[in-house]
């Protein structure tokens, strides 16, 4: 079994001030996993150190839950307001009972900025409205991770169940600057909100190394063929990468003759690097009571491409030879895997995974069918990830300069100077900031900075000279001390 050893009090951060001055430290789960040979293979030794942080947004105190997960309160984040949900009894887990809301008076863009080791991370968030403000209006807002919009909460996303009971959303993303930046952007004048935030470091080579290609993987459906959900923080049957596995009941079109197979027997090649798909996933399977097509319907955004992972293990003791269970896998009407025979490929009680990328889609629903040739089809689980291209970020030198300016000029919260100054591009840039593409088109640069009439009273940090592409600077009608540092701009700068 897994065990863990809490190593240290490790400094982390949720605000820019905390990042720069290290004023506060959080007790986080930096775990050294103790391995058992019958549960995990030796390849895990290459990534034995695992960084995990779980933030109870709006919470007032740290706690450890029944699954031995440590959750920290976010009191060191100064933006927004804490909210205690009115009907807490209906929420199963403690982190779901509070949230942090970001009123528009604090700016349109608010962010959590958490210091982490560089690597690939599983990021999971919980959102709930529950009419906490008695306005009967669930807010519309976007969520970005590392400058890329990953979720949009609008009228379509806020179903009645999501409003009342909340919903989890998750993403796999690379983090390359030692800071995980998760931002919330108000649509109109609505107040974004979030109930919980988890970051779990995973093997950098997971999911065919696609995360090395400036891609984020956004979960559009991850389910088990079993009869109940499981995973980290949901059940005693865990997933070391933090993934949660829902039941397939919301996706299946074959509920009437659904049969769930279970076994306690070990499954060969489960829990292996780099994906560490849990053994429990393969100890459950969805099949049918007679030979028929097994179909799933997955809601998608057809503008994106999708990576599908099919998980199988033959756990039916009645299957003892090849050609006893054979089926095709059909995605959007096209056969993508023909004559799938799990027993023929790996025998029984062994992992068999297949991966397919669906492209050039036109419908808002992705149809997945297991069409039998012999016997009823069977599946242990399915994952569907949108391949979301990473958005163009701001030049890191410009970001460093702007953060120094934010501190030295005492920029007020209402201006929303949080996260990336320019990205995502479909959001407004920081107030007073104009951005353009650099020469390479793979980076954004600051070209204009207009901070007139803002009541600023600080001084201009010398880091402003890092804004090498700045064409105009307007600081008029403020109470700023000192002058403009020499070396700013390339001779094209116009100062007002």
CA distance 112 to 175: 14
Residue 211 lies in a domain: no
Claim to verify: residue 94 and residue 229 sit in the same structural domain: no
Name the strand (E) or helix (H) holding 342: helix 342-346
CA nearest to 365, candidates 430, 462, 295: 295
The tens-digit pLDDT sequence of the chain (496 residues) is: 333 322 222 333 333 333 333 233 333 333 333 333 334 444 443 444 479 999 999 999 999 999 989 999 987 666 899 999 999 999 999 999 999 999 999 999 999 999 999 999 999 999 999 999 999 999 999 999 999 999 999 999 999 999 999 999 999 999 999 999 999 999 999 999 999 999 999 999 999 999 999 999 999 999 999 999 999 778 888 899 999 999 999 899 766 789 999 999 999 999 999 999 999 999 999 999 999 999 999 999 999 999 999 999 999 999 999 999 999 999 999 999 999 999 999 999 999 999 999 999 999 999 999 999 999 999 999 999 999 999 999 999 999 999 999 999 999 999 999 999 999 999 999 999 999 998 888 999 999 999 999 999 999 999 999 999 999 999 999 999 988 887 776 656 777 6
Claim to verify: residue 409 and residue 384 sit in the same structural domain: no
CA distance 258 to 248: 11
Total domains in the chain come to 3
CA distance 89 to 98: 12
Instruction: Print the domain residue range for 285.
Output: 218-389
CATH, residue 475: 3.80.10.10
Q: Which long-range contacts (CB under 8 A, 24 or more apart) does 210-214 make?
A: 210/307, 210/387, 211/120, 211/172, 211/173, 211/174, 212/174, 214/389, 214/390
Claim to verify: residue 385 and residue 410 sit in the same structural domain: no
Residue 189 lies in a domain: yes
Residue 279 lies in a domain: yes
Contact by Cβ (8 Å): 181, 424: no
Residue 174 lies in a domain: yes
């Amino acid at each position: 079994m897994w065990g863990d050893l809490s190593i240290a009090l490790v400094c982390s951060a949720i605000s820019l001030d905390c990042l720069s001055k290290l004023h506060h430290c959080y007790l986080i789960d930096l775990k050294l996993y103790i391995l058992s040979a019958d549960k995990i293979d030796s390849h895990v030794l290459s990534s034995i150190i695992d960084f995990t942080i779980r933030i109870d947004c709006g919470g007032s105190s740290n706690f450890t839950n029944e699954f031995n997960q440590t959750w920290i309160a976010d009191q060191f984040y100064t933006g927004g307001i804490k909210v205690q949900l009115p009907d807490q009894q209906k929420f199963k887990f403690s982190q779901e009972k509070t949230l942090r809301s970001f009123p528009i008076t604090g700016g349109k863009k608010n962010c959590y900025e958490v210091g982490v080791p560089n690597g690939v991370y599983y990021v999971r968030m919980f959102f709930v409205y529950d009419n906490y403000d008695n306005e009967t209006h669930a807010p519309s807002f976007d969520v970005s991770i590392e400058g890329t919009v990953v979720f949009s909460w609008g009228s379509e996303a806020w179903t009645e169940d999501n409003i009342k009971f909340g919903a989890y959303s998750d993403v796999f993303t690379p983090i390359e600057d030692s800071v995980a930046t998760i931002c919330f952007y108000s649509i109109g004048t609505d107040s974004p909100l979030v109930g919980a935030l988890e970051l779990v470091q995973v093997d950098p080579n997971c999911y065919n190394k696609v995360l090395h290609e400036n891609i984020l993987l956004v979960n559009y459906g991850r389910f088990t063929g079993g009869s109940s959900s499981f995973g980290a923080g949901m059940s005693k049957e865990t997933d070391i990468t933090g993934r949660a596995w829902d039941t397939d009941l919301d996706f299946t079109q074959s509920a009437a003759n659904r049969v769930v197979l279970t076994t306690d027997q070990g499954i060969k090649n489960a829990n292996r690097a780099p994906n560490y798909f849990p053994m429990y996933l393969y100890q459950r399977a969805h099949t049918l009571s007679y030979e028929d097509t097994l179909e799933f319907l997955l809601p998608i955004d057809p503008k994106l491409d999708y990576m599908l992972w099919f998980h199988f293990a033959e756990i039916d003791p009645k299957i003892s030879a090849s050609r006893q269970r054979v089926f095709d896998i059909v995605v959007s009407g096209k056969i993508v895997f023909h004559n799938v025979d799990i027993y023929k490929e790996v025998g029984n009680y062994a992992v068999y995974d297949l991966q397919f990328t669906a492209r050039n889609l036109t419908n808002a629903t992705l149809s997945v069918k297991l069409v039998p040739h012999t016997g009823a089809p069977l599946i242990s689980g399915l994952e569907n990830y949108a391949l979301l291209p990473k958005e163009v970020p701001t030049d890191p030198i410009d970001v460093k300069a702007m953060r120094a300016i934010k501190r030295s000029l005492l920029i007020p919260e209402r201006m929303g100077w949080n996260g990336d100054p320019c990205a995502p591009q479909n959001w407004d840039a920081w107030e007073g900031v104009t951005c353009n593409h650099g020469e390479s088109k793979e980076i954004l640069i600051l070209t204009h900075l207009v901070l007139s009439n803002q009541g600023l009273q600080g001084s201009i940090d010398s880091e402003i000279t890092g804004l090498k592409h700045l064409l105009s600077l307007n600081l008029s009608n403020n109470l700023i001390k000192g002058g403009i540092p020499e070396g700013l701009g390339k001779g094209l700068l116009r100062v007002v």
